[in-house]
Each structure stands twice: as C-alpha cells, then as structure tokens.
Amino acid sequence: MTRTLLYTPVSLFFWKCVPAFRRSLFPYPAILVLLCCVCGVQASTAQGQDAHIAYDADTRIFRIDAANTSYVLGINDQGQAQTLYWGSRLPESDHFPAAKAMPGMASFDPPITTTPEEFVGWGGGLAVEPSLKITFPDSTRDLTLKYVSHAIHGNQLAIRMKDIARGVYVTLQYEADGETGILRRSAEVENRTDAPFTIEQVSAASWNLPRGTDYRLRYLTGRWAGEWNVQEQPINPGKTILESRRGTTGAQNNPWFAIDRQGDSDPEHGGVWFGALAWSGSWQISIEQDMLRQVRVNGGPNSFDFAYRLQKGEHFQTPYFYAGYSNEGIGGASRLLHRFEIGSLLPHAPEPKLRPVLYNSWEATEFRVNEAGQMELAEKAAGIGAERFVMDDGWFGQRNSDHAGLGDWYVNPQKFPHGLKPVIDKVHALGMDFGLWVEPEMVNPDSDLYRAHPDWVLNFPGRPRTEGRNQLVLNLARADVRAYVSAFLDKLLTENDIAFLKWDYNRNWSEPGWPEVAAEDQKKVYVDFIRNYYAILAELRARHPAVEIESCSGGGSRVDLGVMHLTDEVWPSDNTDAYDRLLIQNGFTYAYTPEVMMSWVTDSPTWVNQRTLSLEYRFLSSMQGSLGIGANLSKWTPQELATASKMISQYKAIRETVQRGALYRIISPEHESEQSVTESVARDGHEAVVFGFLHSSRELYPFPRVYLRGLDAGATYQITAMDGQLAADTLTKASGTYWMEHGVDLELRGDFQAAAFTLKRTATKPAQP
Ligand code: GLA
C-alpha cells in the first residue's frame, strides 16, 4: 500500500498509533477538521503516492482513484453509504450527481433492500445479505446505520456510521493501493451502548457491481491432494456461498472470487472484478444477484455457529477484504493480485527476497529422520545446488509415526543424540541454510503435552474428541496455550541457527468448545484463535527477523491473504505429481503469485498416481514456481544428479522472472486440455520465460503455435531453448511483434513431453524518426 501521507508526524502518530484517540475524534467532525487543519491534513482531499481520494462536500461524494481504477460512493438522501461506480479509471472532469436511494420494489422490497449499500445493518426490512447483524440484550435485532462523519488521510478513507437510536458505531475503512488500484476494506464495530451486545454476522465489506445480467463467477475448489480447481458459473438471481466452516481457510473453497462478463473467452480481454479475503479462520463470501439484478459480494468471518459478544466500550475489527478491477481480463486480474502481493502484502514487501532453491526430506524419509541420514541427503542436495535444507516431520518427541509425539517439541534423543547442532553445522558447512518442520497448533493424545494438559484442546466436555490423523487441535484462543506455543517456537529459534520454519496444520476443527469461558463467549473461539495465530507469527517474526516461514496445511488448506501477510511462501498441495501439478499451479496462480508457490521435484513414479515422468518434465513443472527438491537423492544416479544440477542452475538464472514477472496463461491446462503453456515476462521486460507441456500426441497433430504476450513490440529478442526442441526453422532473433504475432513452434511429440525457452531483449526500440 502507498504509504506517503500528507499529515505531520504528530497527527500521523495519533492517527496510526492511538486508536482510542482516532475513535474519539469521529463523533466530532468539526474538531477533526480543525485538528486536521492545524496538523496540516487536508480534510476534504488528500493525495497518496499514486492514489487519490477526494470528497465533494456539495454532493457528498467520495471518489477513490488509484492506478487504473476508480471507485465512487456517495452518502445518499437517507444517510446511507451507496456505491456509485467501480471500474476503469475515469477522468477527473467527470462529476457524479448526489446519490439517491433506490425506490423500493412494490411492498415486498423496501429501499434498504434495493439500494446498493457499502455496508448495511440487518434491520428495517433488509432482505439481502446484511453486512452486520446484532442482537441486543433486550432481544432487539434491528440496526439502521447512517453516516456521521468521515476522514481522509492520503490513500485512506474512514467513514463513520451510527445506528439511528443506539450507540453502535461502525467505521468503514478504505485504503487504496496506488500501484494496482486494489482497495483494502474493513470495518470496525464499536459498542457505545451501556450493555454488551452480540454480533451474529459481520462482513469486512460489501462490494456492489454495476447492474447486469451477463456475469460469470470464477472461484476455486479442491480437497487434499486435489486443490486449486477453477470453477466457472453464470451468476443468476439467487446466491452462491463460498465458505469454510472448518476453523481454517480450507481447500474446499479458497477465499477468492473473480467476476467477468460471460462470453469473454479471451483471458487477456474485458473487465474483471476480483477480490480476496484476508482471513485464515472459518470464512464466508456470498455472491448474490438480487431482485433488480444487482450483484453484491459480501465477505467476512463465517456466520455459521458464530457469535461475538462485544462488551460496552469494546470494538471489533474485521479482517481485510481486498478487491480490484482489471480491464485486461482474468489474466490482468491475476497479475494485479500478484503485483499487489509482492509489492504490498508479503512480509518483506515491496522487495521480498527471492525464494531459495530448497531441499525437503519428507518424501525421502517420512518419519525416519536421523543424524546420518539427514547429513547424507544434505550433501547430495548441496551437490546439485540447493540453497536451503529443510528437515521435515519426525525430529522431535516420540515422533516415529503420525500416532505420537505432536506437542512435545524437544529433539528426539535416539535420532539426534547430539541435538540438532551437528546437522545444522553440516548444512551450513555445505553452504546452505537450515529449515525445520513444525505443527504448533496440534497435539497427539499420545504425547506428554496432552497427558499434562488434556483440557488444552478444543472440546465439549463429556463429548467425544474426534481425531484427524490421530491428532487434536489445541485451543489457541486460550492465553496459556498461546503462551506455550509462542515460548517453544521462540526457544527453538533462539537455541538453534534456523533460517526457515515449515509451519504445518494437518486437520480441521471438530467439537469447537471452549469450556473455560462464559457460555456467551465460547463462540469467540472462531476469531480469538486466528488472532492469536497471527499474533504468534508476528511476534516470532519480530524477535527473529531473519527467519522465513512457509504456511502448509496438509498441502494448500491454509493459503489466503491473511496468512500471506505473515509468511514468506506456501505449500500448495501434497500432490507432487508433476503432471497433476500443472492444473494445481494453474488454479493457484489465479489468486496468488508464483513467487510464494513452493513446488518440489519428487521421485518417479510418484506416490500419487504411480505415473512415470522424465526428470526434465518434473523440473520444468516445478520451475514454474518456487523450486524445491523433495526426492530421495540418495537413490539418484550420477546422471540424474547431473541433470538436476544443470536444471537448478538454469532455474537460478530465470527465477527472478518466474517469481516476480508478469504471468500469462498462454494455453491453460483447464478443461482437459492436452497442452499447457505459461509465459513469465520480467518486470523490466528484458526477458520472457516460456514453459510448454504436452499430455499426449494425437493423430500426428503438431503442438499448437505459441503466441507470446507482454513483449516490447519494437525491441529485438533472442530465443534460446532451455530444454526440449524448438522447430528447426525458428528464427534466432526477431522483434517482439514477431514473437507475439507469428509465434513459436515447439517440437513436442509423444506422451508427457515438456520444453522451455527464453527470449532475451538484445536491443531496444529503434528511435522514432
Ligand atoms: C503434511 C505436509 C507434508 C509433510 C507432512 C509431515 O502432510 O503437507 O508436506 O510435511 O505433513 O507429516
């Protein structure tokens, strides 16, 4: 996010660091304006670096312009915040008339239901999805929010709303990213009544699209070892709910959506509205087409089994819901998200470190890790060019299988009689850094931790405790559990020279009871657990700033913008079959950047499908993301090791382009396609890297011609095959226009074939006469 703000350090300090001060200002807009003037803030118009927020006091219209996007909302004649426009950037000379609430639809749909509001309470006859539903102690369940005041600070806008009668305040928060136009929205609910009330449903934001009948929804579905399937369906009247009720993000739906117009089959063309929720707990996104064919998207923590009692004086901050608009099709939407993640969201944004080539021991040894075996693998890994060596599960407690040991975070003395130091020293001596697997939120009943603290898990007293992979979920919402997890991780990182943690999470919740707190507060577990999870990650990062963390959840069950803000990479799937991975990686990149997409080369035939694939094919598939090796290198032949070594050094030469570049899906592997081709173009345009894959040749048909995208039309590019064959008559040098319009032919024939090539810019555009 753009951070250049126009206010002085004093006002910046109070605005950013003292929320109570910020909140207390809101009911008094006159004082705010005065203070802002004193402090040098422009109250009505302010400029972020590339984002601009303006308020027109005559029409009560807010206009957010950032990158190629404009977002316009107004306070209408009913005092509601009403969406007016969301799309391509408009000229500043276009002025919107004041917002007017929509008329109702007969007696059945009052104006509150027909008006596209930015955030609407459940009350006054609302029939569409509410943004906020509250039950008061006197059983009143009616909430009507109206505008009170607002503040603009650089690229941030806050709109303060209040219930017409009770002291319920909601602040709608907006922050615009100047580079991508992506808006970050959230809401803060504050209880200024004189008693507690219960939030039963709350959204971070409602997003309203232009009215239309021809929308198409894309979303992601999956399951263990089969994550990241892209689904497409027309948006019809009614509602589609994407959600997780699992306590965590889940793979069954991922909290991302994209909406475009049906019939736009060119992935690089047309308007796309897209968004992603930054929440790693149970979540919900509803996509609703109402009775007037207005499409609304609502998202936040899942309201299923949810209740959050807010005490007098307390406030509830929702997670962030990010959304943006691209007029370059679904490809453009993905690229904006990738850019945003790298430039604003990842822990070291805007310059996260390039991902090192990693080796992981899991598929080689499973739980059979020991000092000698790990040292041998480390030697092999270093020999082929790995930069990080990660020891996976099995190194701690009595962890000889998945039946025991989780929770006991001491080094297993039989496997590592001298502790971890000799292995870590060896790894360092080989020129790599060292990483370790942990699963901090879980416990095996067969563990010292569970024997000592059986009350530490999520449970309903007297009810069964359902196990998944022989383990139970620790209740991280509890202060003592949070302290335990935080302390053991801190100790591990303090006592050992560890550069990387693979943080795993291998089951969903069951029996989500928290018996130690009042009955009315037990369902807070859905929020407090995740807040503590985030807090532990943040504390750990602050105490050990050099340590990098991967989010893994039996594969890709915990990937979302919330966890990505606190981790450096993610594990998309336990499915490491290089052919299956093409589809998995394709779906993943709709929402998330290839930079964080860890992808291992593993042994063949794979455990997944018993499919045999060449080493080159496996490498090229993994090289589309952040490359890792997860094979048993002790069994590789010298020739295989030599091939690996060659391909790892090729990857190092192109990794910046793959990890940071602009991704084009030239041929998508979706819809049972026989081929798959991706292209990554370096940010500065000096290079493009293309990967092509063939499932099986048929009837002598050649591989379809590959038309490049995103090149500098007038520049000259030299083509070089990295692996596989280009057609014999391929020019060695040609213009960007040639490669984009004429294309490139790959000589791919047979089954499971792959090729890759680079295009390198040799000369820039000739000067215009
Ligand atoms: C999960 C992970 C795997 C591996 C195992 C270890 O399944 O996804 O990569 O770490 O746990 O138990």
Mutate to test the pocket of ligand 1, among 358, 362, 571 (most ligand atoms within 8 A of CB): 362
**Tell me, what's the pLDDT at 263?**
83
Nearest atom within ligand 1 for CA of residue 437:
10
Q: Is 651 in the pocket of ligand 1 (CB under 6 A)?
A: no
Cβ contact 660:683 at 8 Å = yes
**Tell me, what's the pLDDT at 264?**
76
pLDDT tens for residues 433-474?
A: 999 999 999 999 999 999 999 999 999 999 999 999 999 999
Cβ contact 181:324 at 8 Å = yes
The Å distance, Cα 299 to ligand 1 centre, comes to 30
Q: Is 687 in the pocket of ligand 1 (CB under 6 A)?
A: no
Return the residue whose CA atom lies nearest to atom 1 of ligand 1: 554
Distance CA 63, CA 75 (A): 12
Distance CA 211, CA 267 (A): 22
Per the rule left: phi > 0, alpha: psi between -120 and 50, beta: everything else, 610 is left
Q: Is 552 in the pocket of ligand 1 (CB under 6 A)?
A: yes
The Å distance, Cα 174 to ligand 1 centre, comes to 38
Tell me the whole-structure pTM to 2 decimals. 0.93
What are the φ/ψ torsions at residue 249 (nearest 5 degrees)? -55, -50
Element (H, E) at 654: helix 638-660
Q: For 487-495, what is the mean pLDDT? A: 98
Nearest to 90 by CA among 63, 61, 58, 56: 63
Q: Is 290 in the pocket of ligand 1 (CB under 6 A)?
A: no
Distance CA 523, CA 82 (A): 32
The Å distance, Cα 538 to ligand 1 centre, comes to 23
Distance CA 321, CA 308 (A): 19
- CB atoms < 10 A from the CB of 364, how many? 25
**Tell me, what's the pLDDT at 318?**
98
How many residues are recorded in the chain? 769
What are the b/e assignments for 508-542, b being 16+ CB within 10 Å?
bbbebbbeeeeeebbbbbbbbbbbbbbebbeebbe
Return the residue whose CA atom lies nearest to atom 6 of ligand 1: 393
**Tell me, what's the pLDDT at 20?**
36
Q: How far is CA 59 from CA 15, 90, 91, 100, in A?
A: 27, 18, 18, 10
**Tell me, what's the pLDDT at 1?**
38
Distance CA 243, CA 597 (A): 23
Q: Is 435 in the pocket of ligand 1 (CB under 6 A)?
A: no
Q: Is 569 in the pocket of ligand 1 (CB under 6 A)?
A: no
CA-based Rg of the chain, rounded to a whole angstrom?
A: 27
Res. 30: pLDDT tops 70: no
The Å distance, Cα 549 to ligand 1 centre, comes to 15
Res. 34: pLDDT tops 50: no
Return the residue whose CA atom lies nearest to atom 4 of ligand 1: 362
Distance CA 67, CA 177 (A): 8
Q: How far is CA 595 from the centre of its chain?
A: 12
Distance CA 763, CA 473 (A): 58
Q: Is 574 in the pocket of ligand 1 (CB under 6 A)?
A: yes
Give the residue, 763 or 342, on which the prediction is more confident: 342
CB-based contacts of 134: which residues, under 8 Å, 6+ apart? 121, 122, 141, 143, 168, 197, 198, 199, 200
> What tokens were used for 422?
């000799």
Q: For 203-223, what is the mean pLDDT? A: 96
Q: Is 570 in the pocket of ligand 1 (CB under 6 A)?
A: no
Res. 22: pLDDT tops 70: no
Instruction: Give the alpha-carbon dihedral of 623, 624, 626, 629, to 10 degrees.
Output: -40
Q: Is 362 in the pocket of ligand 1 (CB under 6 A)?
A: yes
Strands (E), 370-455: 388-391, 433-438, 442-443
Mutate to test the pocket of ligand 1, among 506, 549, 550, 553 (most ligand atoms within 8 A of CB): 506
Return the residue whose CA atom lies nearest to atom 12 of ligand 1: 393
Q: For 714-718, what is the mean pLDDT? A: 97
Q: For 324-345, what is the mean pLDDT? A: 98
The Å distance, Cα 149 to ligand 1 centre, comes to 50
Res. 427: pLDDT tops 80: yes
Res. 40: pLDDT tops 80: no
Distance CA 527, CA 535 (A): 12
The Å distance, Cα 376 to ligand 1 centre, comes to 21
Q: Is 554 in the pocket of ligand 1 (CB under 6 A)?
A: yes
Res. 13: pLDDT tops 70: no
Beta bridge partners of 345: none
Q: Find the helix packing angle between 615-622 and 578-591, rounded to 10°.
A: 10
Q: Is 393 in the pocket of ligand 1 (CB under 6 A)?
A: yes
Q: Is 325 in the pocket of ligand 1 (CB under 6 A)?
A: no
What are the φ/ψ torsions at residue 7 (nearest 5 degrees)? -90, 160
Q: Is 555 in the pocket of ligand 1 (CB under 6 A)?
A: yes
Distance CA 445, CA 504 (A): 18
Gap between the terminal Cα atoms of the chain: 40
Beta bridge partners of 763: 716
**Tell me, what's the pLDDT at 710?**
98
The Å distance, Cα 536 to ligand 1 centre, comes to 21
Positions annotated as catalytic residues are 504, 574
> What tokens were used for 570?
């993610």
Task: For residue 588, name the pLDDT band (cuts at 50, 70, 90).
Answer: very high
What are the b/e assignments for 51-84, b being 16+ CB within 10 Å?
bbbbbeeebbbbbbbbbbbbbbbbbbebbbbbbb
The Å distance, Cα 515 to ligand 1 centre, comes to 31
Return the residue whose CA atom lies nearest to atom 11 of ligand 1: 554
Q: For 302-314, what is the mean pLDDT? A: 98
The Å distance, Cα 250 to ligand 1 centre, comes to 16
**Tell me, what's the pLDDT at 578?**
98
Cβ contact 630:604 at 8 Å = no
The Å distance, Cα 504 to ligand 1 centre, comes to 7
Tokens 């040639």 belong to which residue?
738
Distance CA 543, CA 658 (A): 31
Least confidently predicted of 242-251, 746-755, 759-768: 759-768
Mutate to test the pocket of ligand 1, among 553, 574, 584 (most ligand atoms within 8 A of CB): 574
Beta-sheet pairing, 256-261 with 315-317: unpaired
Element (H, E) at 16: helix 9-17
> What tokens were used for 61?
């219209």
Task: For residue 49, name the pLDDT band (cuts at 50, 70, 90).
Answer: low
**Tell me, what's the pLDDT at 265?**
86
Cβ contact 544:591 at 8 Å = no
Return the residue whose CA atom lies nearest to atom 3 of ligand 1: 554
Averaged pLDDT of the chain:
93
Omega cis (within 30) before 350: yes
Nearest to 532 by CA among 493, 473, 489, 478: 478
Q: Is 437 in the pocket of ligand 1 (CB under 6 A)?
A: yes
Task: For residue 765, name the pLDDT band (cuts at 50, 70, 90).
Answer: low
